[in-house]
Amino acid sequence: MNENIVGRVSRLISGGFNALIDAAEGMSPVLVMKENVREVNSAIADIRKELGLSIVRKENINASIKNDKLKHEELKEQIAIAIEGDREDLAASGVGKQIDIEAQLNVLEEALSEEGKNINKFEGYITALQGKAREMEEAIEDFCKATEEVETAENTSNTVAKAEAAFARVSGHVGKPSSPSDKNKEVQKLKELSEMQRDTKIKTRMAGLKRIGN
């Protein structure tokens, strides 16, 4: 697997807006935030391409394994016929070919396992980045709403605190406390997200089993 992908995903998942905004001196915080979201979405698109290539490779390896196993079985029958016909030279040639196929199958099985791991990792990276993108988009929306309140409200002291809290949250700092109803909604959302993730994994597993079966 390309180590650059691992580093890129790690940087995007662990990074916050605060460092980006500090580095982009003089730029609008919202513009910096949106640019980071675009970078995350770009990474998702690139990893989807790698995922597609890995799936194709896995299918090709499966086809090669199936073909080699068929050849191995055919040779088994041919070797038996050669032995019955007292043609040990032909039987020995067939056994040698079987040994070669078995060595190739070992390599193919290892490659198949590796591609399976890559596919799981790529799918995990995509899920993680999608979650990060949603988190950032929600944070941008909160920040913009809080900023608008600062500009329009009569009592700016309270709304400034809201804007600062929103900015602190997207920057990686502690945000404003949630009310009980907000927490209940968040728990429900996380529960739905977990169920959605489980359904997706089930569908992916079934699709994989169908591909292998074919």
Residues 202 and 116 in one domain: no
Residues 198 and 106 in one domain: no
Q: Helix (H, G, I), strand (E, B), or coil: what is residue 148?
A: helix
Token code pair at residue 128: 């993680």
Q: Is 93 exposed, middle or buried (0-12, 13-18, 19+ CB in 10 A)?
A: middle
Residues 139 and 183 in one domain: no
Find how far residue 162's CA is from the centre of its chain. 35
Q: What is the total count of domains within the chain?
A: 2
Residues 115 and 104 in one domain: yes
Per-residue model confidence (pLDDT) at position 147:
72
Residues 140 and 200 in one domain: no
Residues 95 and 156 in one domain: yes
Residues 171 and 205 in one domain: no
pTM of the prediction? Answer: 0.62
Alpha carbon separation from 23 to 27, 35, 168, 173 (Å, rounded): 9, 13, 16, 17
Find how far residue 4's CA is from the centre of its chain. 14
Angle (CA) 38 52 34, round 5°: 5
Residues 108 and 198 in one domain: no
Residues 153 and 212 in one domain: no
Residues 186 and 156 in one domain: no
* pLDDT reading at 201 higher than 80: no
Per-residue model confidence (pLDDT) at position 152:
65
Residues 60 and 97 in one domain: yes
Q: What spatial distance separates the first Cα and last Cα of the chain, rounded to whole Å?
A: 26
For the residues 61-65, what does the mean pLDDT come to?
97
Q: What is the pLDDT of residues 108-157, one digit of tens each?
A: 999 999 999 999 999 999 999 999 898 888 888 887 887 776 666 545 45
Cα separation, 78 vs 95, whole angstroms: 10
**What are the DSSP calls for 177-207, one per residue?**
PPPHHHHHHHHHHHHHHHHHHHHHHHHHHHH
For the residues 77-101, what does the mean pLDDT come to?
92
Q: What is the pLDDT of residues 145-198, one digit of tens each?
A: 877 766 665 454 555 555 556 656 555 544 444 555 665 676 677 667 767 776
Residues 77 and 92 in one domain: yes
Q: Which domain holds residue 210?
A: 179-214
Residues above pLDDT 70, as percent of the chain: 66
* pLDDT reading at 33 higher than 50: yes
Cα separation, 49 vs 57, whole angstroms: 12
CA dihedral 109, 114, 120, 122 (to 10 degrees): -140
